[in-house]
Structure 1
């Protein structure tokens, strides 16, 4: 019981509400936690959707830039061949020279790429720690 005073000074007893049981507290906490998790997931969905729109737009722009770069390289190749032709070479020879230069560049890039790929190795540290974890878990299961 709680005692309260009125304006006239009289005392009035009001019943104290009973404290919730442990089960009700746990149920309330579980419900609140569940609502919090759901709202966090909803917020993450909204943020990811917004970020995905930006990523898609950026990817499209990169694709368009790559396409235009490809077209420009073709036109520059033709211009280089015509430049050699203007310098006095036969058109077939001029285009052949441009093609051979591209093949040489491609060959050098392929060799450099092969060198880089040969440096790739297995993730040794990850394999080692995974094996250690498995053996530790097996030991814990036996003991």
Structure 2
């Protein structure tokens, strides 16, 4: 005997202990995934709120600049023509931005819990290594 308590355990006891440890490992990994996703969600929510506030302020600033551009063009053409020209330019800019935004959204990777996936891979590697001994 080597003095290791596991040497004295029966195969059934070892299997039972392994099942308990695997169960605990799975629960711990699920808890870690939940925490990681909650952290990512919290950061995304704060970022979205800040972007929303910035968007509202940009909308007000942009509206003021649009009004200024219309008033400037109204000096050389009828006011309705100035408003139409500025409106067409804004629609063209909106179309370009929309296409660029769509391209960015398509390139986004799925929000997977990367640390948990890597941890599970390491755990599986350890289990496979021990199974081959």
TM-score category, normalised to shorter length: 0.5 to 0.7
Question: Structure 1 residue 30: deviation in Å?
Answer: 0.7
Q: Which has a greater percent of helix?
A: 2
**Secondary structure in 2 matching 1:79:** helix
Deviation per CA, 1:58-103: give whole Å up to 9, x if none: 1111222223323322221111011123x44443332233234345
Partner of 1:82: 71
The alignment covers a number of residue pairs equal to: 96
- What are the equivalent positions in structure 2 for 1:82-101 lying under 5 Å apart? 82-85=71-74, 87-101=75-89
Instruction: Tell me the TM-score normalised to structure 2 length.
Output: 0.56
Greater radius of gyration (CA): 1
Partner of 2:114: none
Q: Which has a greater percent of strand?
A: 1
Unaligned runs of 5+ in 1: 2-17, 114-143
1:31–1:56 distance in 2 versus 1, CA, 3 Å: same
Unaligned runs of 5+ in 2: 2-6, 100-133
Distance 2:90 2:17 in 1: 71
Task: Choose the corresponding residue for 1:40, options 29, 32, 36.
Answer: 29
Instruction: Tell me the TM-score normalised to structure 1 length.
Output: 0.53
